[in-house]
Structure 1
Amino acid sequence: MLNEPTCDLVFAEWLRISQEPQTDIPQKEIPIRQTEQFLLNGYAALDSWYFNDKNAVGGDKPRNWNRISDLMTYTKTQLADLAYPVESVSMYHAMAENRLDNLTGFIVGSMQPWVEVMALKHGAKQILTVEYNPLTIQQEYQDRLSSILPVEFVRNWQDYAGTFDFAASFSSIEHSGLGRYGDPMDPIGDLREMLKIKCMLKKGGLLFLGVPFGTDAIQFNAHRVYGSIRLAMMFYGFEWLATYSGEEEKAFDFTSARLHFKGVFGLTQYTMVLRKL
């Protein structure tokens, strides 16, 4: 039987890895010594798709945080268009069926506040965004929205542990540990994020999780694609409640056939709702 890592260990290990020396630009290949760990001992496919969002001119940067009032008037489709048209609507559908009235939550990774606005629209009381970039939030919403750098969130984790009713992340966790955004190379960076989220949620707290679904793979350094093997690892400590698409308002039956229908390196982003056990 495996021993579950304590929250102390989860955050201590994250801090240790975050302090390791980094290359000036993101690595273009998986380090040979870590290949088997990244690729699930050969059970995940590998392809190349490279980005430098650490320091390249034109790299992805935060925007629209000073326009929350405007975004609150957007339809679900308009909000989704800020990120991934159609696919991002799945987050709206998930929150509509699992409302957040008067609840407190946190968002993991957010270049634009479309997830935050969706949460506010579905009743969220307060939201903390954990983001590598400093955010300039519209003043009128600073009593409901705030942000923190990941390293500060980790250093002060005991102040937050077990305090949140919900968490949400869309197209963020799959990047963790691949170095694209200047983060440390870590074969289980995404699994560490899930453990961190689990530590921060109250028992029974909800996680709205959107990642690329398909056959297990890494398109390095762009993202991971989650198939049946990696998903089972991600779900540790959670109960899978439902899955939502951008096309359907109600949850759908997420079968193996639907997971794999696009083949290797084909992917679709849905939103899963998980509950902390």
Structure 2
Amino acid sequence: MKPPRQNPGSALKKWGAAATVLTGLCLLILFLTSSKHNETAVQIRQTAVTYLGGQATSNSKPSFNIDPYPFMGPIVWSAIHARMQAEYTMNGAVPVTEAFYNDYVPDASLPVWSTDTINQWVGLVQAKSTDFGTYGKQAIADIMSAFDAHPVKGKTVLVVGSITPWAEAIVIAYGAAQVYTVDFNKPICDDFRIITMDIAELDASTMTYDVVLSFSSLEHDGLGRFGDPMHPHGDIERVKRIKTLVKKDGGLFFLAVPTGKDHLVFNAHRVYGRKRLALLFEGWEVMGIYDDKTYSESVWDSPYTCTNVAEPCPQPVHVLRLL
């Protein structure tokens, strides 16, 4: 007996049903995959805008080690996604000049600070000499003027970002009770007057300080130049953390960054003008500004764009107090 003849239409329906199931599975896989990517994109975006909300990313104190994007520096500008570039330039409001540096320092070559050098520089400060340091005579004179007006004698001072201990020497000469230094590349120092820390050690501490000093450091945060985390708002996040380090009762923040017309020299530094400096100052009262000339609105229209890292760049010392 011959088997019954199969209806061609029935076979097509079965194949159609199978194809529908297969298509559905493919769509489900694509949905789950894209959802995962979308979730990652949302997380990245949320990280980028946390500074706008003014809230910590957790119930604990903000970390000094800023939440990074999914990679570390140094990275050339052209390798950064357009969306992230927009975050770095405040949606195109800040012009960009490329100047790539790789200043990552492995543990084997951490800076070593000698007590002899520190003592020599302390002596120069006490003699009112400015012939030492990393940033020239004017930087030293500006900090000394700020300390003359706002004494640090007998106080605990945290220095944020140091390659050489020139700022620490000034603080010691002005009679600070104890000096602390934090840097991505923790200096090796046997001088009892200076306690050095890396970012993790600072975050593990609950200590607050009478004074926090940052000279020509914050403008680098988040650019990856020193092997640090990439973050368009790394400088803003850093200042948020500093707010938790300064004592609420009379604590001061001495801040100096390149000042002029807003500009991003990637990955060398930021230049702070009318737009971005206002973000750094949010939540602070300006107690005084110390530089080589009368501080006025003209500083924002100065000829210095600081796009050439070899050219002079104004870095007034701003003395800030929490509001």
CA distance 1:262–1:240, change in 2 (3 Å): same
- Residues 9 and 185 from structure 1, CA distance in 2 versus in 1: closer, same or farther, beyond 3 angstroms? farther
Contact 2:64 2:238 survives alignment (8 Å):
no
Aligned partner of residue 167 in structure 1, secondary structure: strand
Name which structure has the greater RCO, CA cutoff 8 Å, separation 6+: 1
How many angstroms apart in 1 are the aligned matches of 2:105 and 2:88? 24
Alpha-carbon contact 2:219-2:271 (below 8 Å) kept: yes
- Which residue in 2 is equivalent to 1:131? 183
- The corresponding residue for 1:218 is 264
Aligned pair 1:175/2:220, yes or no?
yes
Partner of 1:206: 252
Give the number of the structure whose residues are more often helix, by fraction. 2
- 2 CA distance for matches of 1:150 and 1:91? 24
What do residues 24-61 of structure 1 show as CA deviations (whole Å, max 9, x unaligned)? xx1111612211111011211110111110159xxx96
Identity %: 30
How many aligned positions are there?
A: 258
Question: Does residue 27 in structure 1 map to residue 68 in structure 2?
Answer: no
Q: Is this contact kept in 1: 2:123–2:173, CA < 8 A?
A: no
Name the residue aligned to 1:85.
Answer: 136
Q: CA deviation at 1:14?
A: 4.0
TM-score by length of structure 1 reads: 0.84
Find out whether 1:150 has 2:196 as its counterpart. no
Counterpart among 129, 147, 154 of residue 95 in structure 1: 147
Listed as ranges, the gaps of 5+ residues in structure 1 are none
Match of 2:11 in 1: none
8 Å contact from structure 2 (residues 124, 131) kept in 1 = no
SS in 2 for 1:243: strand
Give the Å deviation of 1:169.
Answer: 0.7
Structure of larger gyration radius: 2
Work out whether residues 79 and 114 of structure 1, in 8 Å CA contact, stay in contact via their aligned partners in 2. no
Instruction: Say if 2:307 is the partner of 1:259.
Output: no
1:274 is paired with a residue of what secondary structure?
Answer: strand
Q: 1:143-177, CA deviations, whole angstroms, 9 ceiling, x for partnerless residues?
A: x31011012212x14x12xx211100111110000
Residue 209 of structure 2 contacts residue 247 of structure 2 at CA under 8 Å; is this kept in 1?
A: yes
Matches of 2:282 and 2:233, distance apart in 1:
13
Q: Does 1:36 align with 2:77?
A: no
Q: Measure the CA separation in 2 of the matches of 1:206 and 1:13.
A: 18
Distance in 1 (CA, whole Å) between partners of 2:227 and 2:128 is 31
Matched residue SS, 1:43: coil
Q: Which structure shows the higher strand fraction?
A: 1
Q: Deviations over 1:88-147 (max 9, x none)?
A: 121121112111111112010001111111111222111110012232224xx31x3101
- Offset at 1:87? 3.2
1:231 aligns with 2:277: yes
User: Structure 1's 37 and 150: CA in aligned 2 closer, same or farther, altered over 3 A?
Assistant: same
TM-score normalised by structure 2 residue count:
0.73
CA RMSD of aligned residues (A): 2.5
- C-alpha displacement at 1:13, in angstroms? 8.7
Is the CA contact 1:47–1:218 (under 8 Å) kept in the aligned structure 2?
Answer: yes
Give the gaps of 5 or more residues in structure 2: 1-51, 308-312
1:190 is matched with 235
